[in-house]
Amino acid sequence: MNATESVSLIKKALISAEVDIEDYSLNEDTDLIEEGILDSLDAMTFLFHLEKEVNEKISEIDDEFDDFTISTLIQILSNY
């Protein structure tokens, strides 16, 4: 999956998690937690929807996953 497809999936998962992203400009440097886009509960819901979008468990994401920058998520999604 390329970066454009990854960003599209990230946005789709955020919307599915009912996160309002209209007020945010998402780019590769965006940290979804640090910028207040996701809180801890939203993060779990977002990751669930992200895995649903790729239709499999994302092995890089576990209970200790805490890097919610768009660039890291793009890098992870490039494996799918």
Task: List pLDDT tens digits, range 28-49.
Answer: 999 999 999 999 899 999 999 9
What is the pLDDT, as a whole number, of residue 51? 95
Question: At residue 64, does pLDDT exceed 90?
Answer: no
Could you give the number of structural domains in the chain? 1
Supply the range of the domain harboring residue 24: 3-77
The C-alpha angle with vertex 53 and arms to 22 and 59, in degrees rounded to 5, equals: 115
Phi, psi of 66 (to 5 degrees): -145, 15
**CATH number for the domain harbouring residue 13:** 1.10.1200
Query: Using one digit for the tens of pLDDT, what is the confidence trace for 2-17?
Result: 999 999 999 999 999 9
Write the CA distances from 4 to 36, 64, 73, integer angstroms: 23, 26, 12
For residue 57, CA distances in Å to 21, 35, 43, 48 come to 24, 26, 16, 9
pLDDT category at 61 given cuts 50, 70, 90 is: confident
